[in-house]
Structure 1
Amino acid sequence: MQSIIASILLTASLSAGATPQIPAKETSEVAQQVMPNAQSWQSDAEANADKAAKLETQLAERNQEIERLKRQLSSSKVSTATNTKTEQTGTKTPWRTGEFTAYYPPTDVSEHAMQGNGITAQGDNLHKSQTCEGYQIVAAPPDIPFDTKLEIEVNGAVIKAIVRDRGGAIKGSKFDIALPNRSSAVNFGRQSGKWRIIE
């Protein structure tokens, strides 16, 4: 075996066009010194190659798990968004309790602070009409999209309404219903009732 290694080293030097620098006797001695370590180095290299292969397999499995979780999260977000949209704009939702007040288009400047300027957030002129598409205009909380259609039940009466306006105090489950004048708004007052999305 030692003679084979010495021969290989000598052949490599000659094929490279170099003149051997180490005499054959010294080459044999070097081979004897290297041989005991060669097998150890080879087994270490094989063990490291096995470890690297295992780590690559584990990394690939982790990457697959990460991709699966990303898809699951994305699917969950789509599902939540779909459910929210259905609740807000789809089929009828369950009845919820609410608090209802009324407002009207102001007839003079002194009323503007409380009643606005008579133009809804969506551009409806309340001086001309308090309805849109045949529905009563209401100011609703910001989490209910514009043009959402509602049923409001107050004092046994059902009002078909459409969200076309907002208001600083209109939050949570509070709504402001547009009425034609001050007296009708005052008569309506502040009432408890219930509401639901119908479309």
Structure 2
Amino acid sequence: MQSIIASLLLTASLSAGVAPQIPAKETSEVAQQVMPNASSWQSDAEANADKAAELEKKLAERNQEIERLKKQLSSSKVNTAPSIKTEQTGAKTPWRTGEFTAYYPPTNSSEHSMQGNGITAQGDNLHKSQTCEGYQIVAAPPEIPFNTKLEIEVNGAVMRAIVRDRGGAIKDSKFDIALSDKSSATNFGRQLGKWRIIE
């Protein structure tokens, strides 16, 4: 009963803004009731403070990681821009194996060495020259666009070529290289080699 009265007095004093006047005996009893819980509350508060500190530390580390990744992403975008440009202007592709033959402009109407009577699909006159822009003219499969520049290696010799022609038998990885005459084409024959796009 006395503890109830003490509690009521304490509540009334607090609401009135007056410091409570608790008798010494009552204070002793309250202290005895609070003491066992006080150490538990203190240890809980310390544990919670440790958890909060640990969480703040983890949050700070994550924020640093996010900033690092943002910087990395930003710098990689800057670094990859030139390579995209290179691809658009024609980066080299890996080497691929291919089969290579040769053809030549006919010297008379009885020779059927090529369609078009010595004129390529792109209008080059092979009677005058078998090169275009300094590159050897080749007939390539339709998947490779006209004016694509190639590097061809056959028998250890490397030539630079440009796609300016097509042919009925020219498909997959088969190419026909324009040469000046029948003798050169016959000597070249049919050979295996490799090729890649350079531009």
Per the normalisation by structure 2, the TM-score is 0.55
Matching of residue 187 in structure 1 with residue 191 in structure 2: no
Which residue identity does 1:198 align to in structure 2? Answer: I
Q: Matches of 1:146 and 1:104 in 2, distance apart? A: 19
**Per-residue deviation, 1:184:** 0.2
Q: Matches of 2:147 and 2:114 in 1, distance apart? A: 21
Matching of residue 98 in structure 1 with residue 98 in structure 2: yes
**Per-residue deviation, 1:154:** 0.1
SS of the aligned residue for 2:196 comes to strand
**Per-residue deviation, 1:118:** 0.2
Q: Matches of 1:98 and 1:162 in 2, distance apart? A: 16
**Per-residue deviation, 1:111:** 1.2
Q: Matches of 1:107 and 1:159 in 2, distance apart? A: 25
Q: Root-mean-square deviation (CA), in Å?
A: 1.7
1:92-171 mapped onto 2 (5 Å cutoff): 92-112=92-112, 114-116=113-115, 117-171=117-171
1:1-199 mapped onto 2 (5 Å cutoff): 86=87, 90-112=90-112, 114-116=113-115, 117-199=117-199
Which residue identity does 1:124 align to in structure 2? Answer: D
Q: How many residues align?
A: 114
Query: Could you list the runs of 5+ residues in structure 1 that have no partner in the other structure?
Result: 1-82
**Percentage identity across paired residues of the two chains:** 83
Q: Matches of 1:187 and 1:152 in 2, distance apart? A: 17
SS of the aligned residue for 2:98 comes to strand
**Per-residue deviation, 1:115:** 1.8
Per the normalisation by structure 1, the TM-score is 0.55
The ranges of structure 1 where at least 4 consecutive aligned residues each deviate by more than 2 angstroms after the TM superposition are none
Alpha-carbon displacement from aligned partner over 1:83-133 (angstroms, at most 9, x marks no partner): 9xx49x620000000000000000011113x32210000000000000000
Which residue identity does 1:194 align to in structure 2? Answer: K
- Could you tell me which residue of structure 1 aligns to residue 37 of structure 2? none
Which residue identity does 1:122 align to in structure 2? Answer: Q
Q: Matches of 2:108 and 2:171 in 1, distance apart? A: 27
Which residue identity does 1:167 align to in structure 2? Answer: G
Q: Matches of 1:115 and 1:168 in 2, distance apart? A: 10
**Per-residue deviation, 1:136:** 0.1
Q: Matches of 1:128 and 1:94 in 2, distance apart? A: 33
Alpha-carbon displacement from aligned partner over 1:114-172 (angstroms, at most 9, x marks no partner): 32210000000000000000000000000000000000000000010000000000000
**Per-residue deviation, 1:195:** 0.0
